[in-house]
Amino acid sequence: MDEHRNQRRHIRLGRARRGYIGVIQGLVTKGAGSALPDAELESRLIELGFVEGARVEILHEGIVGRDPIAVRVDNITIAVRRREAMAIVVA
């Protein structure tokens, strides 16, 4: 199981579609395109539970450009824009 997961391709959560299930591999805020400074974006993501190892699932997408997305992070649901979700690397 773990071996299989390690082989999955790393992608940005901001590119994933509704129904995607994965595990957070890391946060890469550089070049995510958020209006926030890198450290601030990373801090906020961590404060909302986006840390390495957390299980994520995209539950809903907004109507305009499939944005924002509602993400299940372990056992809470967070609404976030795709722009910020680009900083979250999942597999």
Binding site for other proteins (CB under 8 A): 34-36, 39-49, 51, 59-65, 67-68, 70, 72, 74-81, 83-84
Q: Burial of 6 by CB count in 10 Å (0-12 exposed, 13-18 middle, 19+ buried)?
A: exposed
Q: Give 33's contacts (C-beta < 8 A, 6+ positions apart).
A: 83, 86
| Least Cβ distance, residue 25 to other proteins (angstroms) | 14
Q: Which is nearer to other proteins, 3 or 27 (CB)?
A: 27
| Nearest-approach distance from CB 89 to other proteins, in angstroms | 15
